[in-house]
Chain A
Amino acid sequence: MKKTVDVAIPLGPVHPIFKEPCRIKCETFGEQILAAEVELGYMKKGIERIMVGRPWQEVMFLAERICGICSVIHNFVFIETMEKISGVSVPDRAAYLRVLANELDRMQSHLIANFSYCYTIEHETLGMYLLNIRETVMDMLEYLTGARVTCAYIVPGGVRFDPDEEDLSRIMKAMDKVEEEMLRYIRMFEHGPLIGLRSKGIGIMTAEQAELVHAVGPTLRASGIPSDCRSEHPTYQMLGFTPIVRTECDNFARIMIRFDEILQSIDIIRTIIKTLPEGKIRGGGTIGRGQTTHRGEAPRGELTYRIKSDTHGRIQEIAIQTPSIMNIEACARYMIPGGTSVADVTSAYISSDPCIACTER
């Protein structure tokens, strides 16, 4: 039967809700969305082309600037790939500190994702609470690494700065404060009647559909599939990490899983600070020739780097796979058309935490 389309509504590229330029074209029938299509290409900077022929100390900063929100994980995975190529080992203390910086970064990324969602469903109060508690996390990140967003903390063979006892106790105190506040906000989100109406049962993507479009990260784990690259990482295995799964498959589950992961990150940070081994923070070692693939878990999902380097550690070929492209596709294919109205398009889109900057690079 021929599909009847009333109006094709374009949203974007400059739209009050979107932080980044992106265009969603929705084919509508009345209030119902029949199909949606995401148009990308406004942010292509050609970072992979710039990276070729440069040593790690220049590529590290380019890798950080693939995505400003999750900059630590890009730094982390890039340096780990280079270490895997040349067999550089990392001291235990440095490995723990890397995870500490990464978890702080994950917390602030999840908080800003949830802030965007609350802002989109016009629950500005909760959004502002989340943005305020994010500043505490950012302060700790700044205290540990020396910068708020682009930290440049992880270098081959270790980390750049070593926190002393005072720094660690300050982070610990901040974590107590964040946990206390977070529990309150989670209660607000879970039992808020307006939030329930705008999020429960909207933007449904079942487990089969999620597997079909290769969704990753919290978007996949909210559909009931326990897949997390952190459970393969040796340092996270030492810390006893298990992925969090929810089975509601809707917007509510995707936001709740981020809240739960923030609490999990707080637990991981506490374990790290309690069991932080003494010793060196830099093992030394230069980058050599080789080719390898390595992956890690960004706040938005699986992040893969494939790098080929020459004798003196200059990048010859590089391919980066970032998580958001799969999530955006899943969003356009299943979440938006799944019986939602025009009013829910933006909230379903934001609930998958899209990041156009790292999608297009």
Chain B
Amino acid sequence: MASVEWIKTFFFAKTAPLITPSHFREFPHVTDKECTHCFQCMMICPAPGAIEVIRTEKPGEWKPVIHLGHCIRCGLCVEICPELVLDSGRVHTKNAQDGTYMQFQFHITVNPVICMGCGICSVACPVNKEIDPQLAAKGTSTSDEVIMRVYKGINTVFHEEKCTGCKTCEEQCPNRSVMVARVLEPLQITEEP
């Protein structure tokens, strides 16, 4: 009996398949925390088509989905998520230890020389539609609460801080006069003595 075992180990023994260490930044996996669909993970993602935040079958529930084959395992989405929905490797542990975080700012610039005031950008904007339902229904608005609208023939930005950086306006603009800048700032909490 022992000799059979010996023959088996002699011919078929291999080095054990190596396990992935826990400090490796794997593909982000979704934890059971609630996603508030702020879309910051989609805005920060450097790879095209790697992450999507989509509605699940339950009403009112959203969830990020990682597409394998597109994700480059950079871990930026894990780092920026304010609700810690995603998790990967030691990113959360290290961020909690050091007090490091990242902050987004979005800036909209309209080039007045080539903007022809068609207003496609303000109608396409998903945040505008939520703020002023009239804009979604009729295509015109008089509200000053929207991010931007055509005012006196020129596209004017009213509330830059409401922008979520989705770049829908930039994609819809026929002559690329609207540009959205996603300015990311890596920061650390200053320790008060």
Contact = CB atoms under 8 A, between A and B. Distances in A.
Direct contact of A and B (CB under 8 A): yes
A152 B75 contact: yes
A314 interface: yes
Contacts of B185: 156-157, 284-286
Interface stretch (A158-166, A193-201, A204-212, A323-331): A158-166
A55 interface: yes
Contact of A55 (B25, B97, B183): B183
Contacts of A155: 186
Interface stretch (A10-18, A108-116, A141-149, A342-350): A141-149
A62 B181 CA distance: 18
A282 B73 CA distance: 22
B21 A161 contact: no
A263 B72 CA distance: 32
**How big is the B interface, by class?**
20 to 34
A61 B47 contact: yes
Contacts of B190: 280
A6 interface: no
A231 B69 CA distance: 41
Contacts of A58: 46
B89 interface: yes
Interface in A91-146: 142-143, 146
For the complex, would chain A's binding face be called helix, strand, loop or mixed by DSSP majority?
loop
B118 interface: no
B24 A160 contact: no
B127 to A, nearest CB: 19
Contacts of A216: none
B129 interface: no
A161 B182 contact: no
Contact of B181 (A142, A143, A160, A312): A312
For the complex, would chain B's binding face be called helix, strand, loop or mixed by DSSP majority?
mixed
Interface string B33-73: 00000000000101100000000000000000000000011
A313 B181 contact: yes
Given A55-B181, A284-B187, A313-B183, A162 B94 contact: yes
B98 A161 contact: yes
Nearest to A54: B46
Contacts of A152: 74-76
Contacts of B183: 55, 286-287, 312-313
B187 to A, nearest CB: 5
B91 interface: yes
Interface in B85-134: 89-91, 94, 97-98, 100, 105, 107, 109
Contacts of B89: 146
Contact of B188 (A55, A143, A284, A313): A284
A156 B46 CA distance: 16
B24 A147 contact: yes
A313 B181 CA distance: 8
A56 interface: yes
